[in-house]
Amino acid sequence: MKNAKNIFDKKIAPLIKGKNSDETINIFSKTSNSYFYNLPPMRRLTERQKASVIGFKDEYFVETIINYIISENNLKQNFYCQKITANNHTGIKSRSISVAGKMIDLTIGGDCVIFDKKTNEPILIIECKEYIDMIRMKELIGESRVIKDIVSNSILKFPNIKFWIFAEVLELTDNWAYLFNNSDLKYRIDKVFIARDGKRKDVNNNPKKSELMRFRDELKSFLVGYHQF
């Protein structure tokens, strides 16, 4: 059986990566989910593997834009990006990092975690979600509390850390979507980016270029401002 991640990395990822952040955004904004489903390499995969590939693309886009922002603004000596998940190791060490010669157990990871190279401290966690519905909204609120509440030996050792969400679609009623974006219901999720209008079933909807640019520009503003500070 073909490995979905290998197929994505070798056959699909190069199709959606431009020479810089502008070109990558232009390419990605023209790629609906149906575009990916119709690619020849996808024919070799099972339906479940195809769904995995669709999930990979958003993480890849976010990571690519992060690395381009770091490169384009001469920040390679200041920041690096890393995926922190329980798959990297086993047990409690799955989210352990070394800071100032001491091991710190991160209570939560992220699809893209940006670290300050000088201190090795995480400064921004970005979670990629296929969609946000009521259940995932509660999960995100819980994650934000773990990140930002006072928990012994936790990531709160870094009190200024930011938590951003990059989601494919927002599957909430209008009232719940308003609360999620405009009240304390979201607790302390610092920024939310929604790539596409509509629902998951709307596979022909392209990502919104304006939202992708907002993500890029706000990320640049955050990193450049953090560096200058």
Residue 167: inside a domain, yes or no? Answer: yes
Residue 12: inside a domain, yes or no? Answer: no
Burial class (CB in 10 A: 0-12, 13-18, 19+), 103: exposed
Residue 204: inside a domain, yes or no? Answer: yes
* pTM for this prediction: 0.85
User: Which stretches in the chain have pLDDT values below 70?
Assistant: 1-2, 85-100, 104-109, 146, 148-159, 183-187, 227-229
Residue 77: inside a domain, yes or no? Answer: yes
Residue 114: inside a domain, yes or no? Answer: yes
Number of domains, the chain: 1
CATH number at residue 93: 3.40.1350
Single-letter amino acid, residue 171: E
Q: What is the pLDDT of residue 134?
A: 82
Residue 212: inside a domain, yes or no? Answer: yes
Residue 41: inside a domain, yes or no? Answer: no
Question: What domain range is 111 assigned to?
Answer: 57-228
- Residues 154-201 have pLDDT tens digits of 545 566 788 899 999 988 878 777 777 776 555 578 888 999 998 889
Residue 3: inside a domain, yes or no? Answer: no
